[in-house]
Structure 1
């Protein structure tokens, strides 16, 4: 029988509807009729679009929304039991990106080689998938999907046993509306149970100094070599480790700003839970990587947070703005392609204005791959190499809320508004470092210090 071609991305459409409904029911502890959701969704699909989806597909879609793996057989599976399984998750397990195989029968597979049927996504099992999210947008049914990690957070937010800190990617600006500042988002997050919100750009300020010192020491001892930044992008790091292992030794050992921010919070408060919020799917995988797991507890995307606010009736007009200046220009510009390079250059001038610095930045999977091939073949002569898995950088991430050109406009405005130029101007950096036992900013240059190793370094070869 010829497959019925469903409406394009129809499962993503219903993923949003189901997610919002599950948030309301779990938040309000109203689970009495929750097992009716699959039947209601099936009826809704049929009445709205005159199309049919089987119950197995819907239930496995719900499992992904709950942060669980799809099942080959859903016989005798009750939605209420799945809810309790999700609520009690300590962390979401691999793979981050899942296939809802039941949907394959609805695909006519005429326009392109089907990613699902060829099982390309199963590279998750070999840990080679970077979780960039490109396959999600290419699956015409929406049957490739990243897990959502909010349902496991609800009880933690409500029972107050652990203080829950949101850490917000600098790409947030403009995503939730033209006038929605970090202070309004902080207030909104506090209104649903978060203890506080910290801008990851503050950790990026600290990492800028560390990366600049790493580069300085690297070039001082080997000025014919090059240095590859590991900051920000897990897609970039994953690409190098899987495709270009011969240059892994040139990658900085610094953690990303997300990990640094989470580690600082947990040094200051070991009971804390940390939730990263950004435009990136790959951050979900980074958070559970073998050498980093336990630092960030859960990851949400901008699109998911937008749905959470809507489901919980959070009205920005009624939110008391909770503003504070946390980051410099250098920390904020990490959200743009070329931003890490710009930040390092600005800080290097304060460390040693005569050190050679010849950067290049790649953006998007294709350009990153081609750029690294040119590097291997000695077709480019540079000393500092930055890569971002998304075109435009983090502001072009797969779970952004606004188009890239708008994101660039808002980011430029956010940068212009910065009252601090470099991390050396940022008193917050000095205060945070003092609280974790590092007496002054310049001590970050001693990268062999136990405290610096513990918080800001990783074994990049793992």
Structure 2
């Protein structure tokens, strides 16, 4: 899993953020029905006639144009036919508009057409006398030309033995950064050598889009629709994932965040850690009731990319992944009880949550999903300096527990569930294993299906490091992990069962379609990633 660029503020990150900021700023400022500004935006973001990153300023503007459309939740246009950038914007401006699939998109003319999987000899080759690379190659693919090793790609079977024996490290394994980051093996090459996504496999974890150094992969946003709902005077309430700590600069301070949302026009803000507490209690109850009598092990439910992968690839063990409602959905249902007509916006680190919110089999009560990066664009658009806010705000609910706030870091979910089990069974020995990254999650599930983890609680996280490494995060992963842990320690209650709202669990699960429908959401989530000719999805 490539994570080398994470937390580094590159020129690419700057372009992404500039697009979000400008779309947000103009959504706040534009008069209803006037969308001419969309066509002018690429010229504002990429001024002048000299290219900075690409071979031409025209290509730079075309790529930014596609990013603008995706940031507004619109499909890409391509460059093979004349089209106005603002085409379809009026339709997208409707607050109840949802993403048209696919969610994750390859901007083809931004793609570098990286080699998919090849061993190549670099200039470090010394043409040594021993020629260990040639001797070890099982297919005779290596010869020497002008005292340098040469690999015949037709004969090479990509076993990597040559690279392992070269004393100079001169043989490099070249892979697409996006494909290396994809734990679903969903990325291959099209006929022009550019990346393409197999949407029947993609679970929208978003790791490809943060690991592409050319910025050729992007997901769709609802930043435009959220601001339209605010501008139309709707009651709009944010629920913010526990990974928010430190994302916007400064230390974890919920009151500061509440003030920021208020300045953005939101009516209120709550912590998703509240729902995390309820989720931990539900999973503890399910584990006690079902493992090992009804099922050999239980996987956690809160990461949609992990749970969809597990159910899709191990269908005969799909029932072993918890059916508990996720923290996002439980928090939204808590808010909905007090604010029946509000638009609820989940703000977090995750692109897969954008699809989870659209599921029809489990009513999420979430109207829109934004990432922290999209939220940062909104704050820049309104000139909000997070560090300078004083932090004033109120909440409908009590604060969450330390364990609920720790859901954002790998290992935190399992720890919260174990602590919840220990409330009534203090001496029970609960076996736990956890995996980060979909490749590791798959290995964990394989071992579990072979009986290696009978009686265990399995925690799966699609992003290496947990939610703090989601594609919508802004800060280095290790830095955020430390910030979340410090913030969790300040919680006045320590474990999930101490949360006063746990008594509402049964009622919240009965709302809408009930929790046991969660198993049905797998095919639907993958389907929602797949391109279709339908108009927008109806509300979740």
TM interval, shorter chain, is 0.7 to 0.9
CA shift digits 1:193-224 (9 cap, x unpaired): 111111011111112221111111113744x7
1:461 to 516, 520, 523: 520
- Show the counterpart of 1:441: none
Tell me how far apart the structure 1 counterparts of residues 366 and 83 of structure 2 sit (CA, whole Å).
Answer: 30
- Show the counterpart of 1:63: 69
Offset at residue 123 of structure 1 (A)? 2.4
- Show the counterpart of 1:4: none
Tell me how far apart the structure 2 counterparts of residues 401 and 361 of structure 1 sit (CA, whole Å).
Answer: 25
2:39 is the alignment partner of 1:35: yes
- Show the counterpart of 2:422: 349
2:443 is the alignment partner of 1:370: yes
Tell me how far apart the structure 2 counterparts of residues 295 and 233 of structure 1 sit (CA, whole Å).
Answer: 17
Tell me how far apart the structure 2 counterparts of residues 415 and 318 of structure 1 sit (CA, whole Å).
Answer: 21
Tell me how far apart the structure 2 counterparts of residues 408 and 320 of structure 1 sit (CA, whole Å).
Answer: 23
Partner SS for 1:274: strand
C-alpha contact (below 8 Å) 2:21/2:377 kept by paired residues: yes
CA shift digits 1:67-86 (9 cap, x unpaired): 11112467453334443232
CA shift digits 1:418-450 (9 cap, x unpaired): 1102233233545xx3xxxx7xxxxx4xx9x97
* RMSD value, Cα: 2.9
TM-score after normalising by structure 1: 0.85
Aligned residues: 435
- Show the counterpart of 2:379: 309
C-alpha contact (below 8 Å) 2:404/2:416 kept by paired residues: yes
CA shift digits 1:104-142 (9 cap, x unpaired): 4x6575954585743765322x3x311111221343321
- Show the counterpart of 1:264: 334
- Show the counterpart of 1:229: 300
- Show the counterpart of 2:274: 202
TM-score after normalising by structure 2: 0.73
C-alpha contact (below 8 Å) 1:9/1:142 kept by paired residues: no
1:296 to 352, 358, 366: 366
Partner SS for 1:291: coil
Show the 5 A alignment for 1:184-223.
Answer: 184-219=256-291, 221-222=293-294
- Show the counterpart of 2:89: 83
C-alpha contact (below 8 Å) 2:258/2:391 kept by paired residues: no
Offset at residue 288 of structure 1 (A)? 1.8
- Show the counterpart of 2:400: 327
CA shift digits 1:306-331 (9 cap, x unpaired): 12101111133245422665101221
Tell me how far apart the structure 2 counterparts of residues 383 and 167 of structure 1 sit (CA, whole Å).
Answer: 31
Which is further off, 173-182 or 107-116? 107-116
Which of the pair has more CA radius of gyration? 2
- Show the counterpart of 1:142: 215
Tell me how far apart the structure 1 counterparts of residues 391 and 484 of structure 2 sit (CA, whole Å).
Answer: 23
Partner SS for 1:390: coil
C-alpha contact (below 8 Å) 1:107/1:141 kept by paired residues: no
Partner SS for 2:520: coil
- Show the counterpart of 2:492: 419
Offset at residue 264 of structure 1 (A)? 2.9
Tell me how far apart the structure 2 counterparts of residues 75 and 140 of structure 1 sit (CA, whole Å).
Answer: 27
**CA separation of 1:19 and 1:415: change in aligned 2, threshold 3 A:** closer
2:224 to 122, 136, 151: 151
Partner SS for 1:21: helix
Tell me how far apart the structure 1 counterparts of residues 239 and 245 of structure 2 sit (CA, whole Å).
Answer: 14
Tell me how far apart the structure 1 counterparts of residues 220 and 226 of structure 2 sit (CA, whole Å).
Answer: 13
Tell me how far apart the structure 2 counterparts of residues 368 and 408 of structure 1 sit (CA, whole Å).
Answer: 20
Offset at residue 15 of structure 1 (A)? 3.3
1:123 to 198, 208, 214: 198
Contiguous gaps of at least 5 residues in structure 2: 1-8, 117-173, 180-186, 522-540
Partner SS for 1:391: coil
Tell me how far apart the structure 2 counterparts of residues 191 and 429 of structure 1 sit (CA, whole Å).
Answer: 31
Tell me how far apart the structure 2 counterparts of residues 405 and 338 of structure 1 sit (CA, whole Å).
Answer: 14
Contiguous gaps of at least 5 residues in structure 1: 1-7, 439-443
Tell me how far apart the structure 1 counterparts of residues 272 and 231 of structure 2 sit (CA, whole Å).
Answer: 24
CA shift digits 1:266-307 (9 cap, x unpaired): 344332211111111111121123424662111111111112
- Show the counterpart of 2:100: 93
- Show the counterpart of 1:16: 17
C-alpha contact (below 8 Å) 1:284/1:299 kept by paired residues: yes
